[in-house]
Amino acid sequence: MKLPFTTAALAAMIGLSAPAAASLAYVSNEKDNTISVIDTNTQEVIDTIDVGQRPRGILLSKDFTRLYICASDDDTVQVMDLATRRIIDTLPSGEDPEQFSLHPNNRHLYIANEDDAIVTVVDVETKDVLAQIDVGVEPEGMAVSPDGRWAVNTSETSSMLHWIDTTDFEIKRNMVVGQRPRHVEFSRDSKIAWASAEIGGTVHIIDVDNLEEIKQLTFQIRGVNQDKVQPVGIELTSDGRYAFVALGPANHVAVVDAQTYEVLDYLLVGSRVWQLDLNADESQLYTTNGVSGDVSVIDVESLKVLKSIPVGRYPWGVVIDPNS
């Protein structure tokens, strides 16, 4: 009696999911000068788009109509229209843009210019450069708090976090953290910032109200040399349950309890895992694996790696469009 019912239920589920539009993931391939488009339902690459040279950081506009692409070796930020998948515009970005972050106002784009030790702020509508802010050597990570108050830049060789006030574009605080800070991620309520330090092997958890470090995480994986544990990308679930930390050449993603800061698990993914993003309902996590040239898909509920999807050479960034 039970079997037909299950089958029916399954059929109903399939029936329900089929009409839903494909949710798409975009992956920048640093050494192929392309963006791979993955259908997250079938978990297959459905398109590969030629873009500028050395694409690294990518992000979606707040209305999910455009993809911004740091074309590092072209010294420009490209704007791709998601409906047509064409590059429709370029923005002045300063030299060698690597990572960037869009203010919640959907206009102010904060760009880390790695070669020039500056952060450039561009209005994406008028294309005006609003400010260029001097930061440390090799600015890399860029994050704007969801409440729009802070823009944080990491400078890799200076090993600092620079806290930029978004109202006057002035640095209000410099924090020395572990060696080679790579990435900053804010909690949804903007109260906690997570910053990874690649060579330090640490993740620094910062209380944003007091601008104080409240916790430092380290990671140990059985059978992996400690030198190879190099935290890079961080992704947080919006319910405050998990933080996922990509550990670079350790080839693992750490799962951290975002309340207790306890490391719960390490998930084996591809080689040199770099960046990660959650899909719309946060059931799946996508990771870019630079050296193995693929994307791993992790099931968030079971914390299991489901699949790896071959993309281009040296996949760098990944974003999933929740609206597509």
Candidates 34-42, 62-70, 167-175, 261-269 — which segment interacts with other proteins by CB under 8 A? 167-175
Q: Given the complex with other proteins, which of 17 and 225 has the nearer CB atom?
A: 225
Cβ closer to other proteins: 249 or 317?
249
Measured distance CA(269)–CA(285) in Å, rounded: 11
| Cα 285 versus chain centre, distance | 11
Q: Which is nearer to other proteins, 138 or 321 (CB)?
A: 138
Closer CB to other proteins, 82 or 175, in the complex? 175
Q: Which residue has the tokens 């974003």?
A: 319
Stretch of residues binding other proteins (CB under 8 A), selected from 19-27, 153-161, 257-265, 279-287: 153-161
Dihedral sign for Cα atoms in the order 81, 85, 86, 90: positive
Residues 101-140, mask of contacts with other proteins (x by CB under 8 A): -------------xx-x----------------x-xxx--
Interface with other proteins, residue 156, by CB under 8 A: yes
In the three-class reduction of DSSP (H, G, I as helix; E, B as strand; rest coil), residue 74 is classed as helix
User: What does residue 8 show for φ and ψ, rounded to 5 degrees?
Assistant: -65, -45
Q: Is 284 in the site for other proteins (CB under 8 A)?
A: no
CB of 184 to other proteins, least distance (A): 17
CA distance 164 to 153: 8
Contacts of 83 (CB under 8 A, 6+ apart): 65
To other proteins, the closest distance from the beta carbon of 186 in angstroms equals 20
Query: Which tokens hold the place of 276?
Result: 């990660």
- The reply to whether 175 sits near other proteins by the rule CB under 8 A is yes
Question: From CA 1, how far away is CA 199, in angstroms rounded?
Answer: 58
Per-residue mark of binding to other proteins, 5-24 (x: CB under 8 A): --------------------
DSSP letter assigned to residue 6: H
Kind of pairing, strands 86-92 and 76-81? antiparallel
Least distance in angstroms from the C-beta of 164 to other proteins:
12
Tell me which stretch binds other proteins (CB under 8 A): 20-28, 119-127, 143-151, 158-166.
158-166
The CA-CA-CA angle for residues 188, 192, 198, to 5°, reads 110
Q: Which of residues 23-82 bind other proteins (CB under 8 A)?
A: none
Residue 250 · residue 228 · CB < 8 Å: yes
Residues 208-267 that bind other proteins (CB under 8 A): 211, 225-228, 249
Total residues contacting other proteins (rule CB under 8 A)?
Answer: 34
Residues 6+ apart with CB under 8 A from 253: 244, 245, 246, 247, 266, 267, 269, 273, 276, 285, 287, 296, 298
Q: φ and ψ at 126, to 5 degrees?
A: -90, -15
Residue among 71, 109, 143, 160 that touches other proteins (CB under 8 A): 160
Residues that bind other proteins (CB under 8 A): 96, 114-115, 117, 134, 136-138, 155-160, 162, 170-176, 179-180, 198-201, 211, 225-228, 249
